[in-house]
Amino acid sequence: MKIKTRFAPSPTGYFHVGGARTALYSWLFARNLGGEFVLRIEDTDLERSTQPAIEAIMDGMNWLNLDWDEGLYFQTKRFDRYNEVIDDMLSHGTAYKCYCSKERLEMLREAQMARGEKPRYDGLCRDSHHHHAADEPCVVRFSNPQDGSVFFNDLIRGPIEFNNQELDDLIICRTDGSPTYNFCVVVDDYDMAITHVIRGEDHINNTPRQINILKAIGAPVPDYAHVSMILGDDGKKLSKRHGAVGVMQYRDDGFLPEALLNYLVRLGWSHGDQEIFSVDEMKRLFSLDSVSKSASVFNTEKLLWLNHHYINHLPADYVATHLVWHIEQQGIDTRTGPQLSELVKLLGTRCKTLKDIAASCHYFYEDFSEFDVDAAKKHLRPVAAPVLQAVHAKLAAIDEWTPASVHAAIEQTAEELQVGMVKVGMPLRVALTGTSQSPTLDVTVHAIGQSRSLARIDFALNFIAQRVQ
Ligand code: GLU
């Protein structure tokens, strides 16, 4: 049997981390077993589905590199097929037309509630032999089995059983002729030959209804796995209040897809006490057996830790491809400075996000007209002038501009002036970067370049001279 999973988001809100984790688990399950992964957009709720939400799903899936083998399907393009199945069910008696008025249903509901019963349709039209005109408005209801129970062995949560008496005769087609959500899911899972449905636990109550419909249309019943919720650090369901945002916001905030994927896979799944998983490792090791039944708590610090790890452990050339976007956001023209892969090596250890790297790299590419006030107060004082003049001369004399020759120039300056390296290093750092924070000085100076470094030292000397006046 060919394993086939699907991710079936409704494009009604933003594509959040919970959805991304469900997509990842479905994708990994298929990839682990050499199966196929289907992407299907459940857009039958015409009022709430939006084009930007569809685009956010596509952008997020593409950015995370969760590729699909089949689809993209849209439920709104499959209405003919749903209607065909509805007609078939009507003719086989597994569904029936219901002509009950809103008022009757409301009275029924109120009476049931008053008796402390769970409101459900009483099946009046199921057994009725009344004749109705062809154009009389009606809904179509599924004829749910009236006794027995629905049992399924959830691959994460274990055996689950629902009594059929608790299940309503679900409306599968509305008065306006549009098919309803649970029904479309069933027809799709059947037509797309889905073998494993992996989705959020908020769908557990839909599963017995869907299984009954699948059986009624003679479809095989897939295996189900319901993934637990993600909570915020206050124990409440993760939401915007916790700063939970759409997947692409993580890109905007400077995360690498590898970091988010690693974070999400561990949010509910484990393999011993291992924390770092490459995508290949995830594909090899993932199994539903090790997915937790309990809710997971979102922890931004851990995500930052993973991002820092990946910035420094993935090939710098690759990290640079993701850095480009952030550099563009900062409006930096990188043609006159170090290559982006170089920048990753220079700033990666100091920064937890690509956004931080982009925000703190300006001095490699652009001259500045002001120094950080505190740094200048401390390090660009008159005593620093002779030091800067001396190091200027040494740097100007370098024939072969390398980190080693820069290092030697700084060292010789300190030796000749008989001062510690710091006494040379700090004024030079502030002169070249405008701040007192930068990566190791020799590589920084080297990356800034010879003529630019000399010009900035002149600028700093000028600044000191003006301060003295
Ligand atoms: N469209 C549903 C949702 O976005 C998922 C349905 C399913 O996976 O069966 O919650």
Does the pLDDT value for residue 266 go beyond 90? yes
* pLDDT band at residue 469 using 50, 70 and 90 as cut-offs: low
205 and 143 in one domain?
yes
Q: How many CB atoms lie within 10 A of CB 408?
A: 14
- pLDDT tens for residues 46-100? 889 999 999 999 999 999 999 999 999 999 999 999 999 999 999 999 999 999 9
- pLDDT score at 235: 84
- pLDDT tens for residues 135-191? 999 999 999 999 999 999 999 999 999 999 999 999 999 999 999 999 999 999 999
- pLDDT tens for residues 216-226? 999 999 999 99
198 and 98 in one domain?
yes
Among 172-186, 224-238, 317-331, which stretch is predicted with the lowest mean pLDDT?
A: 224-238
443 and 463 in one domain?
yes
Give me the number of domains the chain comprises: 4
Does the pLDDT value for residue 468 go beyond 80? no
CATH code (residue 246)? 3.40.50.620
Q: Kindly give the number of the ligand 1 atom that is closest to the alpha carbon of 206.
A: 9
339 and 261 in one domain?
no
128 and 186 in one domain?
yes
300 and 321 in one domain?
no
Q: Where does a domain end: 227, 242, 269?
A: 227
Q: Where does a domain end: 351, 366, 381?
A: 366
Evaluate: CB of 10 within 6 angstroms of ligand 1. Answer: yes
Q: Whose CA is nearest to atom 6 of ligand 1?
A: 8
263 and 168 in one domain?
no
213 and 97 in one domain?
yes
Evaluate: CB of 57 within 6 angstroms of ligand 1. Answer: no
Q: What percent of the chain has pLDDT over 90?
A: 92
Evaluate: CB of 40 within 6 angstroms of ligand 1. Answer: no
Q: Which of 4, 5, 7, 10 to mutate to test the pocket of ligand 1 (most atoms within 8 A of CB)?
A: 10
Q: Which of 6, 21, 43, 199 to mutate to test the pocket of ligand 1 (most atoms within 8 A of CB)?
A: 199
177 and 146 in one domain?
yes
Q: Kindly give the number of the ligand 1 atom that is closest to the alpha carbon of 189.
A: 9
Question: What's the CA-to-centroid distance between 76 and ligand 1, angstroms?
Answer: 15
353 and 274 in one domain?
no
Does the pLDDT value for residue 1 go beyond 80? yes
Mean pLDDT score of the chain? 95
Question: What's the CA-to-centroid distance between 199 and ligand 1, angstroms?
Answer: 7
Q: Whose CA is nearest to atom 7 of ligand 1?
A: 8
- pLDDT score at 205: 96
Evaluate: CB of 9 within 6 angstroms of ligand 1. Answer: yes
pTM above 0.85, yes or no: yes
Evaluate: CB of 39 within 6 angstroms of ligand 1. Answer: no
Evaluate: CB of 140 within 6 angstroms of ligand 1. Answer: no
409 and 432 in one domain?
yes
Among 236-240, 312-316, 366-370, which stretch is predicted with the lowest mean pLDDT?
A: 236-240
- pLDDT score at 46: 87
| Rounded Cα distance, 262 and 276, in Å | 7
Domain that holds residue 422: 368-468
Q: Which of 57, 201, 203 to mutate to test the pocket of ligand 1 (most atoms within 8 A of CB)?
A: 203
The whole-number average pLDDT for the span 258-271 is 97
Q: Kindly give the number of the ligand 1 atom that is closest to the alpha carbon of 199.
A: 8
CATH code (residue 395)? 1.10.10.350
* pLDDT band at residue 369 using 50, 70 and 90 as cut-offs: very high
Q: Where does a domain end: 183, 207, 227?
A: 227
183 and 101 in one domain?
yes
